[in-house]
């Protein structure tokens, strides 16, 4: 019976060896492809870190050491004010006071003024972290040749001051405070507008909607399709509806607040809310579906109405899952840039947003703006801003994972 | 390696388990099995659910290799060679010891492709049409499907699908066919057909069948091994004998209790 | 039976009281619950809001596009077939933008499909639990990185790399190749996770069948599991294309600003999304052809991606029906 099989045992072994060889080759190909994904992540992160730290060549009109014995950053407002008054020319002082009296200016503002007008601190060249670590000789040579008057300093572009300063046209003085506050307010508006509606829709679809009705199926299909619409299309929608058509409300004019345009936090938040709504709904639906039927039956069996069952049994059980999904949706919203460009986030703004009707800038907009500037040093602060953004995202995700794990432990 | 590929000698044992212990992680699923399977006979393995029947059966063609926590002690001798020796290729073992599963699992391809595929990956170079026809005939399915060989195998009935899976196994020319409750998903008529088929096949193949259906074991097998569970849930072999002896005249009390339906 | 009912005691405000037949009948009779009704209506409204979103998109895009096509000198045929996009001279041919979009998408898929699919096969068929627990979170992080960061990466890493390899005189600072390749890395996790889902959904029994016939792991994976998961994998591929077409920030940063009809991937060319972002980023006067044109392009974008998403979802559904 074995003999009518068309290969002899010996050649069968040969074939088998080849099959195993091919298998091994492909296995390593698959593995390498997987490794590329990880490599990409590593390279991406190191590119960003590489840009955010490194040597800089600094030129200044006045050596800060001659102004004060202590480092300038550590001075109090009063001391800063004295130095300014002592060192600024009459003309410059008058011009500065015209904007805002020295008395009224805060410590950080004064410091900026000092650096800008007196010290005239200028970074003429920056080097990447890798060059700073491994090619110091080259950097020294280049500096000596091209920037003989400059001082070489090691600079962490990401520093506490970077988080506290506002926007500036000079990269060495620019910070992300305004953008951070803008992003926070924006996210807040987004959550407030999208979360209740999203949970409501999910409850409707899971607990009330009969799949036999065409309109319920239409809603479900529509939500799934909306999740795939490019974010820039949401931006166009936001521009047309919130900024333009509803401009009277989103600018605050209808509520008696003086404002010029509908390009406000409110418009952006509502746009972002629409954008993450489908994601929230789909995640919440999954969480609600995971609540066992037996729990509902038990509650119905005690004579509860549908809403009572949902409110006191289904929602509490589903909440951790809903929250996890929401956090993931929010981290999507934090990084979204294109819709904000459309609804008109300002790229240059130095005053912190004060409320829903403020014009604003946001972290990703800031990154975009700095990235597209031709000067290298803007690339450095863009890198620093990206680190800020990624840290925010990673902490959000870690938070989501913690909630998820705690929830898992409870149900098992 | 050569021992495996040489044609069968006159040794009447097709495969033999010696002091076999099988573990999943720290859990010992089967304890100290010694079992000599007669060539070209049907051997049934019966026993209560969870006693390790499938585990033992899968040990015979190294199907358990895919469970990472699986460990085995002892020897399973096939043509005098322990199939768990490091120099043994499990792929080769599975070609020579085929398997039919509990739920029919045809590939979502045509009937023809289902049969041709296994032979092809194993380097078959002969006339494929003939092989397909021959295998289907041996599996008693030819008459029903010969006009529809291009049809998707998933359109067949459950019983037909299972016979297709048997045909597919035959097509790679195994020596032993392992069957893990092959009829548990089938209706009685389809079951009867498979049992008849097993009888036909036993003239050229060694068949080991796991079943929880005692009538089936009594009806269709030549030898029967009875397994049960000990206190610690480890499976053990209680009795192994010619089927008629075991059912009519069990030597052990546990066997008697089980076949008379007193437990399990 | 009757005496049982009359003896039934019910909780009422006054405590336990015997309930008579009449009261019981009244109780079990259907009566409208206003609160329940309002809640249900409110929840329905929440669900229906998504429909309004879609209608809003279609209405606004359609309305402004109509205005755009009513602009003197703009015609829909010329819009779809014209080879020059230069609003300043009244030339609105969308082909240069579409061409650039297709080029970046092509390079993105060239990277993400083979890599993503291979990674999916590795993760679902080969990888040990330990490797999976390292690789999957890494891919998830990769998927969660904002696209503006990828844009930054394209400009500060990918472009210099390409210029280093191919020569500075060959590769312009802004080019579609760099944007496309980076986009490929961005889409890779999407393809790999969707494909892996499809592969893992293939029943174990099918793999066992193949192994039981003496197939090797590769043969089982490629010839049995992969074909069985094919529609799911194609769905992933299509979603990937849709994502690439709609992606804005990477191309806005790295592909170049200024429409150009070129097939040279080393040259700068503006995509549809890049154009929308650039025009709307400036000070935009309402009801100018420029302003209206972003709606026409947006509509085109919306229709293409919607079409792709629908096909992809149909494929996934078909796949689910087979294996569930
Ligand atoms: N892959 C596995 N991992 C861990 N334990 C398993 C696995 N498969 C089976 N078991 C355990 O091994 C024992 C025997 O299982 P099995 O061989 O399937 O029994 P039977 O086929 O006789 O019903 C059972 O306790 C089962 O829970
Ligand atoms: Mg079993």
Secondary structure letter of residue B116 according to DSSP: H
Judge whether residue A9 has pLDDT over 80.
Answer: no
In a domain, B5, yes or no: no
Give the number of residues written for chain C.
324
Strands B13-24 and B42-46: unpaired
Alpha carbon distance B233, C296 (integer Å): 70
In a domain, A132, yes or no: yes
- Residues touching ligand 1 (Cβ under 6 Å) are B 24, 29, 49-55, 67, 233
In a domain, A281, yes or no: yes
Residues A86 and A208 occupy one common structural domain:
no
**A406 or B19, which is more confident:** B19
Q: Hey, where are the domains in chain C?
A: 1-31, 34-70, 85-319
Judge whether residue B9 has pLDDT over 50.
Answer: no
CATH of the domain at B214: 3.40.50.300
- Say yes or no: C205 contacts chain B, CB-CB below 8 A: yes
| CB-based contact B122 C128, cutoff 8 Å | no
How high is the pLDDT of residue A308? 81
Judge whether residue B214 has pLDDT over 70.
Answer: yes
Q: Taking CB atoms and an 8 Å cutoff, what residues of chain A touch B89? A: 16, 20
Nearest C-alpha neighbor of C271 from the set C111, C95, C147, C148: C95
In a domain, A100, yes or no: yes
Q: What is the mean pLDDT of residues B26-45?
A: 94
In a domain, B239, yes or no: yes
| CB-based contact A12 B91, cutoff 8 Å | no
Residue whose Cα lies nearest atom 4 of ligand 1: it is B24
Q: What tokens does A336 get? A: 């979204």
Secondary structure letter of residue A74 according to DSSP: G
Cβ within 8 Å of residue A18, ≥6 positions away: none
| CB-based contact C246 A232, cutoff 8 Å | yes
**A384 or B106, which is more confident:** A384
How high is the pLDDT of residue C57? 92
C-alpha neighbours within 13 Å on the C-beta side of residue B77: 15
Alpha carbon distance A123, A120 (integer Å): 10
How high is the pLDDT of residue C22? 65
How high is the pLDDT of residue C322? 66
Alpha carbon distance A353, B121 (integer Å): 68
Tell how far the Cα of B105 is from the centroid of ligand 1, in angstroms.
20
CA-B227 nearest atom, ligand 1: 22
The domain in which residue A132 lies consists of 53-155
- Say yes or no: B152 contacts chain C, CB-CB below 8 A: no
Lowest mean pLDDT among A69-78, A152-161, A284-293, B106-115: A69-78
- Say yes or no: C128 contacts chain B, CB-CB below 8 A: yes
Residues A107 and A204 occupy one common structural domain:
no
Contact status, residue C261 vs residue C223, Cβ threshold 8 Å: no
In a domain, A312, yes or no: yes
How high is the pLDDT of residue A16? 85
Q: What is the mean pLDDT of residues A292-320?
A: 80
Nearest C-alpha neighbor of B182 from the set B108, B102, B109: B102
Contact status, residue A58 vs residue A151, Cβ threshold 8 Å: yes
Distance from CA of C160 to the nearest CA of B (A): 45
What is the third-level CATH fold of C85-319? MetI-like fold (1.10.3720)
Helix, strand, coil abundance in chain B, percent, nearest 5: 40, 25, 35
C-alpha distances (whole Å) from A380 to each of A141, A386, C158 are 22, 10, 17
**C15 or C118, which is more confident:** C118
Q: Find the closest chain B residue to A6 by CA distance.
A: B126
Helices (H), chain C: 2-7, 21-28, 34-70, 76-81, 95-121, 129-144, 147-153, 159-166, 176-200, 204-212, 217-219, 226-228, 230-246, 249-254, 272-281, 289-323
Whole-angstrom Cα Rg for chain A? 29
Q: What is the mean pLDDT of residues A215-228?
A: 91
Alpha carbon distance A265, A250 (integer Å): 8
Q: What tokens does B238 get? A: 């209680």
In a domain, A39, yes or no: no
**Tokens 């269709």 identify what position?**
B220
Domains of chain B: total: 1
Alpha carbon distance A151, A124 (integer Å): 10
Judge whether residue B177 has pLDDT over 60.
Answer: yes
How high is the pLDDT of residue A96? 76
The domain in which residue B28 lies consists of 13-259
In a domain, B4, yes or no: no
- Say yes or no: C166 contacts chain B, CB-CB below 8 A: no
Q: Which of A125, A155, A185 is the last residue of a domain?
A: A155
Alpha carbon distance A335, B100 (integer Å): 53
Nearest ligand to the C-alpha of residue B184?
2
| CB-based contact A228 C249, cutoff 8 Å | no
* ipTM entry: 0.87
Residue whose Cα lies nearest atom 12 of ligand 1: it is B29
In a domain, B238, yes or no: yes
Tell how far the Cα of B244 is from the centroid of ligand 1, in angstroms.
28
Judge whether residue A277 has pLDDT over 90.
Answer: yes
How high is the pLDDT of residue A111? 79
Contact status, residue C314 vs residue C231, Cβ threshold 8 Å: no
- Say yes or no: A66 contacts chain B, CB-CB below 8 A: no
pLDDT (tens digit per residue) in A356-374? 888 888 999 999 999 988 8
pLDDT (tens digit per residue) in A254-272? 787 776 777 889 999 999 9
Alpha carbon distance B98, B100 (integer Å): 7
pLDDT (tens digit per residue) in C26-79? 555 566 677 888 998 999 999 999 999 999 999 999 998 998 888 887 788 888
| CB-based contact B95 C129, cutoff 8 Å | no
Q: What is the mean pLDDT of residues A294-305?
A: 71
How high is the pLDDT of residue A10? 53
How high is the pLDDT of residue A336? 93
Whole-angstrom Cα Rg for chain C? 29
- Say yes or no: C82 contacts chain A, CB-CB below 8 A: no
Contact status, residue B22 vs residue B59, Cβ threshold 8 Å: yes
C-alpha neighbours within 13 Å on the C-beta side of residue A412: 6
In a domain, B264, yes or no: no
In a domain, B2, yes or no: no
Residues A322 and A367 occupy one common structural domain:
yes
Nearest C-alpha neighbor of C197 from the set C109, C116, C110: C116
How high is the pLDDT of residue B17? 95
Alpha carbon distance A291, A314 (integer Å): 6
Domains of chain A: total: 2
CATH of the domain at A332: 1.10.3720.10
* CB burial of residue B261 (10 Å; 0-12, 13-18, 19+): exposed
Contact status, residue A156 vs residue A388, Cβ threshold 8 Å: no
Judge whether residue B70 has pLDDT over 70.
Answer: yes
Contact status, residue C255 vs residue C270, Cβ threshold 8 Å: yes
Mutate to test the pocket of ligand 1, among B20, B23, B24 (most ligand atoms within 8 A of CB): B24
C-alpha distances (whole Å) from B224 to each of A107, B194, C172 are 92, 18, 78
Secondary structure letter of residue C283 according to DSSP: -
* CB burial of residue C223 (10 Å; 0-12, 13-18, 19+): middle
**Adjacent-strand bridge partners of C66:** none
pLDDT band at A94 (very low <50, low <70, confident <90, very high): confident
Phi-psi label, residue B261: left if phi above 0, alpha if psi -120 to 50, beta otherwise? left
User: What secondary structure does DSSP assign to B151-182, as a single string?
Assistant: SBGGGS-HHHHHHHHHHHHHHT--SEEEEEST
């Amino acid at each position: 019976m074995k003999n009518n099989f068309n290969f002899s045992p010996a050649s069968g072994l040969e074939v088998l060896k080849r099959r195993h060889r091919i298998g091994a080759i492909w296995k390593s190909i698959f593995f390498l492809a997987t490794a590329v994904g990880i490599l990409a992540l590593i390279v991406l992160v190191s590119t960003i870190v590489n840009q955010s730290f490194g040597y800089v060549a600094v030129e200044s009109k006045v050596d800060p050491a001659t102004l004060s014995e202590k480092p300038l950053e550590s001075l109090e407002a009063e001391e800063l004010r004295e130095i300014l008054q002592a060192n600024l020319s009459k003309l410059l002082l008058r011009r500065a006071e015209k904007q805002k009296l020295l008395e009224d200016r805060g410590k950080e503002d004064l410091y900026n003024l000092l650096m800008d007008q007196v010290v005239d601190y200028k970074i003429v060249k920056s080097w990447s972290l890798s060059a700073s670590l491994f090619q110091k000789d080259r950097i020294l040579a280049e500096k000596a040749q091209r920037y003989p008057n400059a001082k070489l300093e090691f600079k962490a572009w990401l520093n506490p001051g970077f988080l506290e300063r506002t926007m500036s046209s000079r990269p060495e003085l620019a910070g992300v405070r305004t953008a951070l506050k803008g992003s926070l307010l924006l996210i807040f508006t987004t959550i407030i507008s999208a979360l209740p509606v999203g949970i409501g829709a999910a409850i409707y679809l899971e607990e009330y909607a009969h799949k036999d009705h065409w309109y319920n199926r239409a809603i479900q299909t529509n939500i799934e399709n909306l999740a795939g619409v490019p974010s820039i299309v949401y931006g166009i929608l936001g521009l047309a509806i919130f900024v333009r058509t509803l401009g009277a409300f989103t600018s605050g004019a209808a509520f008696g607040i003086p404002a010029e345009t509908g390009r406000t936090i409110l418009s952006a938040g509502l746009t972002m809310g629409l954008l993450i709504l489908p994601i929230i709904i789909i995640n919440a639906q999954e969480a609600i579906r995971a609540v066992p039927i037996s729990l509902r039956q038990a509650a119905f069996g005690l004579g509860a109405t549908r809403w009572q069952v949902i409110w006191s049994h289904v929602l509490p059980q589903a909440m951790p899952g809903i929250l996890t999904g929401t956090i993931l949706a929010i981290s999507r919203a934090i990084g979204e840039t294109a819709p904000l460009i459309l609804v008109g986030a300002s790229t240059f703004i130095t005053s912190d947003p004060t409320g829903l009707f403020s014009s604003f800038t946001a972290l990703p907009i800031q990154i975009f703006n700095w990235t597209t500037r031709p000067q290298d040093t803007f690339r450095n602060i863009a890198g620093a801003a990206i680190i800020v953004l990624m840290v925010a995202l990673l902490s959000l995700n870690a938070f989501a994972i913690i909630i998820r794990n705690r929830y898992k432990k409870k149900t098992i | 390696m050569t021992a495996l590929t040489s044609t069968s000698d006159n040794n009447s044992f097709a495969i033999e388990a010696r002091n076999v212990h099988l573990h999943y992680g720290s859990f010992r699923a089967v304890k100290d099995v010694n079992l000599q399977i007669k060539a070209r006979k049907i051997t049934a393995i019966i026993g209560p659910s969870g006693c390790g029947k499938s585990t033992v059966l899968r040990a015979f063609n190294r199907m358990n290799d895919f469970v990472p926590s699986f460990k085995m002690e002892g020897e399973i001798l096939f043509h005098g060679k322990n199939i768990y020796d490091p120099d043994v290729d499990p792929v080769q073992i599975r070609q020579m010891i085929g398997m039919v599963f509990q739920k029919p699992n045809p590939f979502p391809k045509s009937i023809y492709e289902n049969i041709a595929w296994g032979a092809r990956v194993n380097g078959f170079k002969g006339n494929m049409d003939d092989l397909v026809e021959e295998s289907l005939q041996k599996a008693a399915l030819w008459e029903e499907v010969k006009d529809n060989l291009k049809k998707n195998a998933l359109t067949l009935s459950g019983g037909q699908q299972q016979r297709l899976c048997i045909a597919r196994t035959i097509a790679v020319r195994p020596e032993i066919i392992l069957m893990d409750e092959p009829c548990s998903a089938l209706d009685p008529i389809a079951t009867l057909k498979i049992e008849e088929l097993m009888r036909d096949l036993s003239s050229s193949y060694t068949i080991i069948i796991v079943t929880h259906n005692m009538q089936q074991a009594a009806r269709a097998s030549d030898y029967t091994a009875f397994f049960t569970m000990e206190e610690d849930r480890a499976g053990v072999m209680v009795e192994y004998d010619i089927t008629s002896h075991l059912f009519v005249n069990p030597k052990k009390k546990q066997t008697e209790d089980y076949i008379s339906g007193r437990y399990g | 039976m009757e005496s049982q009912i009359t003896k039934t005691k019910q909780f009422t405000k006054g405590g336990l009281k015997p309930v008579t037949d009449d009261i019981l009948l009244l109780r079990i009779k259907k009566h409208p619950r206003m609160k329940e009704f309002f809640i249900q209506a409110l929840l329905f409204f929440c669900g229906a809001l998504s429909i309004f979103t879609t209608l809003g998109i279609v209405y606004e895009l359609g309305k402004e596009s109509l205005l755009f096509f009513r602009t003197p000198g703009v015609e829909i045929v010329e819009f779809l077939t014209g080879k020059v996009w230069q609003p300043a001279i009244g030339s609105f041919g969308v082909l240069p933008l579409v061409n650039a979009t297709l080029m970046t998408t092509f390079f993105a898929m060239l990277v993400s499909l083979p890599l993503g699919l291979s990674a999916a096969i590795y993760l679902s068929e080969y990888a040990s639990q330990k490797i999976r627990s390292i690789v999957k979170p890494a891919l998830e992080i990769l998927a969660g990185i904002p696209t503006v960061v990828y844009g930054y990466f394209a400009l500060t890493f990918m472009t210099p790399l390409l210029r280093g390899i191919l020569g500075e005189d060959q590769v312009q600072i802004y080019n579609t190749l760099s944007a496309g390749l980076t986009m490929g890395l961005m889409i890779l996790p999407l393809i790999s996770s969707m494909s892996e889902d499809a592969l893992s959904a293939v029943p174990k029994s099918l793999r066992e069948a193949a192994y039981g016939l003496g197939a090797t792991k590769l043969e089982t994976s490629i010839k049995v599991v992969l074909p069985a998961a094919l529609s799911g994998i194609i769905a992933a591929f299509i979603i990937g294309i849709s994502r690439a077409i709609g992606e804005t920030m990477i191309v806005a940063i790295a592909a170049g600003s200024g429409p150009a009809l070129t097939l040279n991937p080393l040259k700068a060319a503006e995509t549809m999304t890049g154009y929308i972002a650039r025009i709307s980023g400036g000070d935009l006067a309402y009801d100018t052809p420029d302003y209206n044109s972003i709606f026409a392009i947006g509509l085109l974008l919306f229709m293409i991606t919607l079409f792709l998403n629908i096909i992809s979802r149909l494929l996934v559904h078909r796949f689910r029906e087979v294996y569930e």
